[in-house]
Amino acid sequence: MYEPREDSFLLCAAVERRAHGSVLDMGTGSGILAETARCMPRVISVTAVDIDPECVRFVHERYPQIAAVQSDLFSSVAGTFDTIIFNPPYLPQDPEIVDRAIYGGKQGHELIERFLKEARHFLAPKGAILLLFSSLTGKQRVERAITESGLAGTQISSQKLHFEELYVYHIQQA
């Protein structure tokens, strides 16, 4: 399970400011983003999704007010959402380490691209995606994937760390 770090806390701040209506926390991990959303007055319901059954079980037991679903991205998700949150695995793959909680594919952006192609079908008409990724993922590549998916994104925050910069994007239908 991915333990909350700088990226989680940066995205939490965006969730506190922008989450509303029905919320989907994709790749929930520890559930910190789902729980942050649940506590916001503009939020009606929260669904937390993860591919790892251990994470789903943890969120279900720790936060019984949150619907927890095991799913490979949207494969077991139904409906549309006003806010979709995603702190994906975004690092380029290190061939010597296997950790699906941090690696987003060979180049780091492959999982984000797959998510964006699917997400638009689960986004309510006036809904928004809050997406976090790293400079190591390739900012221009992610921006291109947003556009190619029929979406429009704006960077709303960032944080420089010693070896990377983190970005949070607010994404809507184009």
pLDDT by position in tens, the chain (length 174): 666 678 889 999 999 999 999 999 999 999 999 999 999 999 999 999 999 999 999 999 999 999 999 999 999 999 999 999 999 865 555 666 555 555 445 555 578 999 999 999 999 999 999 999 989 888 999 999 999 999 999 999 999 998 889 999 999 998
110 residue type, one letter: E
**Domain of residue 164, residue span:** 6-173
Query: Has residue 138 been placed in a domain?
Result: yes
- Global confidence as pTM: 0.90
Report the domain count for the chain.
Answer: 1
Query: Has residue 157 been placed in a domain?
Result: yes
For 39, 47, 56, 97, 125, the CA distances from 70, given in Å and listed in that order, are 22, 11, 6, 24, 25
**CATH number of domain containing 132:** 3.40.50.150
Query: Has residue 1 been placed in a domain?
Result: no
